[in-house]
Amino acid sequence: MGERSKGYRKEIRDGNVHWIIDFRYRDKQGGSKRFRRDARVQTSAGARAEADRLKLHAVEHGTLEPTAIVPTFEAFVRGQFSELVMPGFRPATQERYRRLLFQEGIVEQFARTPLDEIGAVEYRALAARVLERNVDPRPHLALLRTVLREAYELEVIRQMPRLPRLPPKQRKLPSAPPLDIVRATLSASTGWLRTAIALAYFASQRSGEVRAARVMDADFNSRTLNTCKAFSAESVITPKSGHERAVPMAAPLRAILEDATRGKKPTDRLVTDDGGQTPSRQHLYKAFIALQKRVGISPQWSFHKLRHAFGTHLVQLGANIEAVREMMGHADLAMTSRYLHVTSGDKRTAIGLLEGNYGETA
């Protein structure tokens, strides 16, 4: 039978490749049946996943009636979702989704449940189980929705179940270390950690962007630092915003980068340890916390808060918010406007302006 023995094959029609599901199975009476149709997803991986699912169902049930072919949650997640959907996410997102699915109990809870039997009751049961651990259930529920939506779009289930709304997102203002904390960490640091702190604070780089920055990204002639790549998990891809961005070099950053680039090739990384290796995300985080403990800063700030400090301090100093948005790589002003912290002092100043405009009363 050749390729058909795999359950799927390709054929050329009108000069185009078409993937076909094609295999034989035994029906409930023991008779030989042949199943053949175009694969719903026209890729090798898609055809293979669909053929495997259909063959397994034919063996277990002796029929391939469309209404009966609904895989369990675990079968779909390990099959089509992992093979066809997951590759479309950023590596860090894939890593997070796998952790939620396989380590934090989503697959365990719904392992043997057919996809079309998951609805509002099961959704609330997952929320309750996660809340028992004093954990925010929103990421788990959002991922469950994603899995079901993809199952619907791949025609694995006939309709998208009606689910309760997601819990409201916890929106906290992006807290940022004050300037004296930034100065203290920068003054007390040396080597690659000093370079990393400077890139985060003066160029608004995320930790993945800091670790991926190269010598060629620092243009000393135009005094510009370009953010072109970022680590996502262990893969180097485009920054989170999806495009490159440029930030003028502040004088302190320029001095630090001149030291960091000395003796390196254009393709070398700016942030490398004594062995010439790029520190991991966890190594960078721990080194920054350890530095703060040495200096006596308490409580400690995460490394990502240095990027928040970039946005917060610029906005407080009166910088154009659109310029801040572009330098931070935000898709819209709604993200950047979170840095417009309102304090009681701001309110008093505002009322003072109103009084001055109105004029003193008699």
Give CA torsion, residues 8, 13, 17, 21, to 10 deg. -20
Residue 1: per-residue pLDDT: 41
DSSP 231-246: EETTEEES-TTSS-EE
Q: Which of 2-6, 125-129, 232-236 has the highest mean pLDDT?
A: 125-129
Measured between alpha carbons, how far is 342 from 358 in angstroms, rounded to an integer?
23
Q: What is the pTM of this model?
A: 0.63
Residue reference for tokens 């417009």: 340
Q: Where are the domains of the chain?
A: 2-69, 74-153, 179-339
DSSP 3-state assignment of 63? coil
Mean pLDDT of 235-251: 85
List helix spans (H) across 62-90: 73-76
Under a CB-based contact definition with an 8 Å cutoff, are residues 153 and 85 in contact? no
Measured between alpha carbons, how far is 98 from 107 in angstroms, rounded to an integer?
10
Longest pairwise C-alpha distance within the chain: 103
Measured between alpha carbons, how far is 116 from 57 in angstroms, rounded to an integer?
16
Please count the other Cβ atoms lying within 10 Å of the Cβ belonging to residue 115: 20
pLDDT tens digits for 269-288? 999 988 889 999 999 999 99
Measured between alpha carbons, how far is 228 from 237 in angstroms, rounded to an integer?
9
Backbone angles phi and psi of 11, in degrees to 5: -140, 155
Under a CB-based contact definition with an 8 Å cutoff, are residues 225 and 217 in contact? yes
Give the DSSP letter of residue 114: B
The dihedral through the CA atoms of 248, 252, 255, 258 has a sign that is negative
> What is the rounded radius of gyration, in angstroms, for the C-alpha atoms of the chain?
28
Mean pLDDT of 312-319: 84
Measured between alpha carbons, how far is 183 from 89 in angstroms, rounded to an integer?
37
Task: Report residue 242's pLDDT band, with 50, 70 and 90 as the boundaries.
Answer: confident
pLDDT tens digits for 58-78? 888 888 875 556 899 999 999
Under a CB-based contact definition with an 8 Å cutoff, are residues 189 and 217 in contact? no
Which residue did the predictor score with more confidence, 341 or 46? 46
Measured between alpha carbons, how far is 95 from 90 in angstroms, rounded to an integer?
9
Q: Please give the CATH architecture assigned to the domain spanning 179-339.
A: Orthogonal Bundle (1.10)
How, if at all, do strands 32-38 and 218-219 pair?
A: unpaired
